[in-house]
Every structure is written in structure tokens, then in C-alpha cells.
Structure 1
Amino acid sequence: MADVDADDSPALPADPDPVREALIEWYETDHREFPWRRTEDPYEILVSEVMSQQTQLGRVVPAWEDFLDRWPAVTDLAAADRGDVVAFWSDHSLGYNNRAKYLHEAATQVETEYDGEFPRTPDELSELMGVGPYTANAVASFAFNAGDAVVDTNVKRVLHRAFAEIHNADDPDYETVANALMPAGESRIWNNAIMELGGVACGKKPRCDEAGCPWREWCHAYQTGDFTAPDVPTQPSFEGSRRQFRGRIVRALSNHDELTLDELGPKIRVDYSPDGENGREWLEGLLTDLADDGLLDVEESDDRTVAKLSE
């Protein structure tokens, strides 16, 4: 993204420097300690970003550490068996097992297409399998200090509350405002700081005074008491969902070379009945989804269907 002049953004204070300095000082004084904030290794940061998608950070920390113990460098992950990576993902309840597949393929790309050296810009990083604009920008920022302003749900909430023009706009341009506010060449600390602000002080239930929010003197919401913010999509229930049963299938198959439908069914739900509502037809639908994602192979013959993890 091209540089944005703060003077061109009416949503910012006339002098944004004190706003910037206050946030960075607040972050540097005290912030949550996550292990990936202590590294600039793009591989380690990519793993943390992929794991953190729709997963609570407290659960990510031990999984991230275990993952790097097993595959400490991108070379190790690229050489790993994909089935082992998917099984690890499922065993650690990280959800959406196709992210494990994409992470493995991205590591292979780094090895084969980039000679083991990570690309450094958001556009280049977006060429890696499963790496979307947000993740590419986060890796570019935190590994290379070469990203744009990160705009996730937390950042949108912060900007919406802080600046009246964003709050009152029908279709606010969050990215333009975020990039205008970010100090040039400081994407690493700035993105960490504003995401921390959204996660600690400006959550759905704001903790302005308790968390010592550094933007209180400029904040539209704090001055007016109007803490409305963009709606945050409700995460579908995991219990009883297709995601839950897909994960159980992968875990079951990780402990067996292969299983037939009627061997697999009882391992993933106690009420499995071959000809019932939650029977073979239901199970075949889940297996088809997983096979389409490249996570397992399904072999059919005249008298039985067999599933096994892809190699």
C-alpha cells in the first residue's frame, strides 16, 4: 500500500504524533508476554499466526512450543509427513485441520521456490499456500518490520471507538486511517501495540481506566460514553458440529493405518448406527469433505469403504 499522509485523513487528530507516542509508550511499559513476540523468525511467526486464527491465545502457546520442538525450522516442516502434521493439529485441538495442510505446503514452497529464505513483503508472502492478506501483512510486520498497518476485528473496534469520523461513517475506510496513523517504518511495534490495545483495553467490554488506555483524552467513545462498535460474528458452536467430528475422524485415523466405515463410526460418536440418521451416509459426507481438503484418502470397493490419512 502506498504511504498515506496523515493530513489527508480527516479522522485523525490534527497532530497525530502524541497519539502515536502514547500508544507505543503504553505498550512498551507493559504488555502480555507471548513467546512469538520475542522472535523475529518468519517461520516461527507464521506458525503462530496460523495457529491463532479463531483459537484462544492461551491454547496456542503450548501448541506453538510443541510444534517448534518437533519441527524447529521450515526445512524440518517441509520434510515432514503431512499426515503427521495434520495429526498434531488435531491432537492439539487447533481446529480447521486444512490449516495444517496449508502450513505444510507453505513450508514446502519456501524450500523449493525460495531456496529456504522467506519472502519479505506482504505481496510476496501472499503467494504462499493458505497465507491471506492479513497473515502476510502480520508476518511482514513482525518478522521484517516491512508491513502495512494490520486491520483485524480488534483494530477496527479501536478505530471505530476512537475517531468520530470512523464512528459516524456509513462505510468507514479502516485501512486508510490505520495506515495514516501508523508511524512510517514502524509496523512491528505499531501493529503489536494497537492489537494489544484492542485485546486488553478496548475489547467488547471496554476497560479504559482499568487498563490505563493511552487514548482516553482523544477517544470519541470515552468522551461521549458511546462504546458501540462493529458487530463481531458469533463463532458457531463447536460441540456437535461438523468441525468436531472431522477432528475426531483425523484423530482416530492417526492411530490406525486404515478403518472401514463401521470401524470408524463408533470411534467418533457413541450413537453411530450404520443405517441410522448418524450412520454410513452421514459419515461418508464427512469423509468426502476431508478427502476434498486433501487430508485423507477414501477407497471404495463392492462391499466396503476404507479411509486412511493422506501421505
Structure 2
Amino acid sequence: MTAEAEEWALPADREAVREALIEWYEDDHREFPWRRTDDPYEILVSEVMSQQTQLGRVVEAWEEFLERWPTTAALADADRADVVGFWTDHSLGYNNRAKYLHEAAQQVQEEYDGDFPGTPDELQELMGVGPYTANAVASFAFNDGDAVVDTNVKRVLYRAFDVPDDDGAFEAAASELMPAGRSRVWNNAIMELGGVACEQTPHCDEAGCPWREWCGAYASGDFTAPDVPTQPSFEGSRRQFRGRIVRTLKEYDELELDALGHRIRVDYAPDGEYGRAWLEGLLDDLESDGLVDLERDDTDGPVARLQR
């Protein structure tokens, strides 16, 4: 175990953590059509399309692409200009991705007799397929991949288990958590967690995050992360932040001052510009409006709750 790993807060009961996430995912998750297939060609198309496009927009493009070129053989025989034109018409990002996808289909046909290679290393031999995409296809098509580590997964691991902001540490932690032989469901599940519960602005309770009992960020209220280092200088008025306070307190019976502060803005710092003094000013306004009670206790510190 590396020096960094010694500092990780990975729970001792790994199996409970794994099963909680998988059960949460299998109970309810976003329905994307590529999650209902194990065809490596269809999954590769979805992965390439998703590299620079929101998933909601990818669905229609993915379905139309596969209707036009349903197999690697069909895509390999297509005119490259038509494939690039489709990419441009659907605003799917850099056109070279369409070119590489077309070339990869030709490789599968010519070098692999129409059968997709199945391991991450073999898949990287295809044109335009890097380590992440290769691993995703191996996981979702063949259930034989490594732990996927994307921005969402890094955010989850950083917040939940204090994994340091280091690519090697993220990869090691993700690999340690992933159950053997279950890369398909696991990688889908942990990316779903980062996509719907542990977003840049977290929705822990609303999304029923299955890791709340183990999560360091949920316990502390500090939801900073590698891709959420600071909040933009000022996104709204005091009125908007007062609204955030009210919405947050509706989710909890009561919150101590610092826990509340961390939940309404990611760059909250008790002694900083947006700290306790700033927050107490907002709470004083809400208290004057008859919306919030602020209980000041010299022992435990101020506690905020909605007025009943």
C-alpha cells in the first residue's frame, strides 16, 4: 500500500460499501439506451459521442447513427465524408472523432475479422481509442474492464473517502473498491453516483446517496473537490443566498452555522470573506423576516432552523 493509501478513509467493510452502491443503482438510474446493450460497437459509438456532448443530447444522435450504420461493417463501408457530415450536423464535437471512429470500424473488419477485441489493451489498438474509452468498452461490453476513473468518479472518491487529488491515488482507490468481475455494473453505478448525487453542487439527500453514512464530506458539510475548487466571485444577490439557506434548512431539522455555510456555497470558510460573519448577516435578515431562528449557544455555537 502506498503512503497516500495509508491516509485514505476507505471504510473497513468494503462489501457493505459496494453492495449499497450497486443496490442504489439497480433500484433506480437514468435510462440511456447504451446501458441496455452489450454490443461493443454500439457502446464505442456512445463513448465517442459522449466525450464532448451532454448525455441527453447524445441519445438522439446515437440512435440515428446506429439506424444509419447499424454495424461495424456498415460503418466501415460508409463514405467518410458522410460520417463526418453526420457528426457536424449533430454538433458532436471535433470532427476527427468521426474520422477515427470510421477508421476503427475498418480496423475491426480488416484486422479482427469483424470481431471486436475485448480487453482494454487490445481496444487501444483501435484508431482514436485511448485508455479511458478502451476501459469503458471493455467494462460495459465484456464486463472485463478496470475501474473507470473520470471527473465524476474523482469527485466522489475525494469527497467520500478523502482520496488525495492525485491520478495514481484515484486509480488505486477506485480499483480497490471495485468488486471483482463486476466492472459493468460497478462503473455504471459509481459514474451515476457522481452524475446525479455527487455533482459539483451535491444532492445527497434528494438523490438518496447510498454512501452518506461513510462519506466524509456529508459528515463535515465541506463539499469542495478537485473540479470544484472555488465558487465564482459572486453568482447572485444576497436574496438568492437567503433562498439557498431556506431551501437547505427545509432538508434538515437544524444545522450548525459552519455546516450550513458549506452547504450553500463551496468556498465557504469560517474566517474568510464568505464566512461566519457573512452568513450570520444573512441569517439576521431571515430572522427579522420571521423565517429563521438562530439559536446562539456559547458552548456549541450558533444553530439555525426554520421557524415553525
Same fold per TM (> 0.5)? yes
Superposed CA offset, 1:106-143 (max 9, x none): 00000001010000000000110000000000000000
Q: Which secondary structure state, in structure 2, belongs to the residue aligned with residue 190 of structure 1?
A: helix
Correspondence for 1:91: 89
Correspondence for 2:249: none
Q: Shift of the alpha carbon at 1:11?
A: 3.8
Within-5 A mapping of 1:226-241: 226-231=222-227
**Measured at CA, do residues 206 and 232 of structure 1 come closer, stay the same or move farther in structure 2, by a change above 3 Å?**
closer
**Paired residue type of 1:54:** Q
The answer on whether the counterparts of 1:34 and 1:61 sit within 8 Å (CA) in structure 2 is yes
Within-5 A mapping of 1:268-287: none
- Whether 1:214 and 2:210 are equivalent positions in the alignment is yes
Q: Which secondary structure state, in structure 2, belongs to the residue aligned with residue 88 of structure 1?
A: helix
Correspondence for 1:223: 219
Q: Which secondary structure state, in structure 2, belongs to the residue aligned with residue 58 of structure 1?
A: helix
Correspondence for 2:273: none
**Paired residue type of 1:44:** E
Larger RCO, structures 1/2 (Cα 8 Å, 6+ apart)? 1
Whole-angstrom distance in 1 between the partners of 2:24 and 2:197: 11
**Measured at CA, do residues 131 and 232 of structure 1 come closer, stay the same or move farther in structure 2, by a change above 3 Å?**
farther
Q: Shift of the alpha carbon at 1:15?
A: 1.4
Correspondence for 1:197: 193
Q: Which secondary structure state, in structure 2, belongs to the residue aligned with residue 95 of structure 1?
A: coil
The answer on whether the counterparts of 1:153 and 1:232 sit within 8 Å (CA) in structure 2 is no
Correspondence for 1:291: none
Whole-angstrom distance in 2 between the partners of 1:186 and 1:61: 25
The answer on whether the counterparts of 1:74 and 1:107 sit within 8 Å (CA) in structure 2 is yes
- Whether 1:17 and 2:10 are equivalent positions in the alignment is no
The answer on whether the counterparts of 1:125 and 1:131 sit within 8 Å (CA) in structure 2 is yes
Q: Which secondary structure state, in structure 2, belongs to the residue aligned with residue 173 of structure 1?
A: helix
Q: Which secondary structure state, in structure 2, belongs to the residue aligned with residue 160 of structure 1?
A: helix
Whole-angstrom distance in 2 between the partners of 1:232 and 1:124: 35
Correspondence for 2:38: 40
Unpaired runs of 5+ residues, structure 2, are 230-308
**Paired residue type of 1:96:** Y
Match of 2:150 among 144, 149, 152: 152
Whole-angstrom distance in 2 between the partners of 1:62 and 1:170: 36
Whole-angstrom distance in 1 between the partners of 2:132 and 2:200: 21
Correspondence for 1:70: 68
The answer on whether the counterparts of 1:109 and 1:128 sit within 8 Å (CA) in structure 2 is yes
Whole-angstrom distance in 2 between the partners of 1:54 and 1:232: 19
Give the alignment's Cα RMSD to 1 decimal: 1.9
Whole-angstrom distance in 1 between the partners of 2:124 and 2:80: 21
Superposed CA offset, 1:253-282 (max 9, x none): xxxxxxxxxxxxxxxxxxxxxxxxxxxxxx
**Measured at CA, do residues 9 and 126 of structure 1 come closer, stay the same or move farther in structure 2, by a change above 3 Å?**
farther
Unpaired runs of 5+ residues, structure 1, are 234-311
Q: Shift of the alpha carbon at 1:17?
A: 0.6
Q: Which secondary structure state, in structure 2, belongs to the residue aligned with residue 40 of structure 1?
A: coil
**Measured at CA, do residues 221 and 10 of structure 1 come closer, stay the same or move farther in structure 2, by a change above 3 Å?**
closer
Correspondence for 1:237: none
Within-5 A mapping of 1:175-194: 175-194=171-190
The answer on whether the counterparts of 1:86 and 1:101 sit within 8 Å (CA) in structure 2 is yes
The answer on whether the counterparts of 1:11 and 1:177 sit within 8 Å (CA) in structure 2 is no
**Paired residue type of 1:39:** T
Whole-angstrom distance in 1 between the partners of 2:61 and 2:44: 14
Whole-angstrom distance in 2 between the partners of 1:172 and 1:221: 21
Correspondence for 2:125: 127
Superposed CA offset, 1:170-215 (max 9, x none): 7761000000000001000000000000000000000000000000
**Paired residue type of 1:65:** E
* TM-score (normalised: structure 1): 0.70
Whole-angstrom distance in 2 between the partners of 1:26 and 1:10: 23
Whole-angstrom distance in 2 between the partners of 1:26 and 1:9: 27
Whole-angstrom distance in 1 between the partners of 2:225 and 2:65: 36
Among all aligned residue pairs of Structure 1 and Structure 2, give the percentage whose two residues are the same amino acid: 78
Match of 2:77 among 79, 82, 106: 79
Whole-angstrom distance in 2 between the partners of 1:171 and 1:155: 11
Correspondence for 1:240: none
**Paired residue type of 2:132:** Y
Whole-angstrom distance in 1 between the partners of 2:180 and 2:167: 25
